[in-house]
Amino acid sequence: MSLEGKTAIVTGSNSGIGLGVAQSFAAAGLDVVLNSYTDTDEDHALAADMAKAHGVNVRYIQADLSDGDAARSLVERAGACDVLVNNAGIQHVAPIQDFPAAKWDAIIAINLSSAFHTTAAALPMMREAGWGRVINIASAHGLTASPYKSAYVAAKHGIVGMTKVVALETAEEPITANAICPGYVMTPLVEGQIPDTMKEYGMDRETAIRDVLLARQPSKEFATVEQLGGTALFLCSDAAAQITGTTISVDGGWTAL
Question: Does 105 have pLDDT greater than 90?
Answer: yes
**Residue-wise pLDDT tens digits, 118-158:** 999 999 999 999 999 999 999 999 999 999 999 999 999 99
Residue 226 has pLDDT above 90, yes or no: yes
Catalytic positions are: 152
Question: What DSSP assignment string belongs to 116-151?
Answer: HHHHHHHHHHHHHHT-EEEEEE--GGGTS--TT-HH
Q: Is residue 219 scored above 80 in pLDDT? A: yes
167-202 pLDDT, tens digit per residue, is 999 999 999 999 999 999 999 989 999 999 999 999
Inter-residue contact 177 to 136 (CB < 8 Å): yes
> So what's the pLDDT on residue 118?
99
Query: Which letter does DSSP use for residue 98 in this model?
Result: G
Domain-wise residue ranges, the chain: 7-184+222-256, 186-221
Mind giving me the DSSP string for 175-235? EEEEEEEE-SEE-HHHHHHHHHHHHHHT--HHHHIIIIITTT-TT-S-EEHHHHHHHHHHH
If you average pLDDT over residues 107-118, what whole number do you get?
98
CATH top class, domain 7-184+222-256: alpha beta
Instruction: State mean pLDDT over 37-49.
Output: 98
Q: Is the pTM of this model over 0.85?
A: yes
Of 36, 25, 249, give the one whose Cα is nearest residue 133: 25
H or E segment at 246?
A: none
For the chain, the first-to-last Cα distance in angstroms comes to 37
- Number of other CB atoms surrounding residue 243 within 10 Å: 15
pLDDT at residue 1 greater than cutoff 90? no
pLDDT score, position 189: 87
Residue 16, pLDDT > 90, answer yes
Rg (CA), the chain: 18
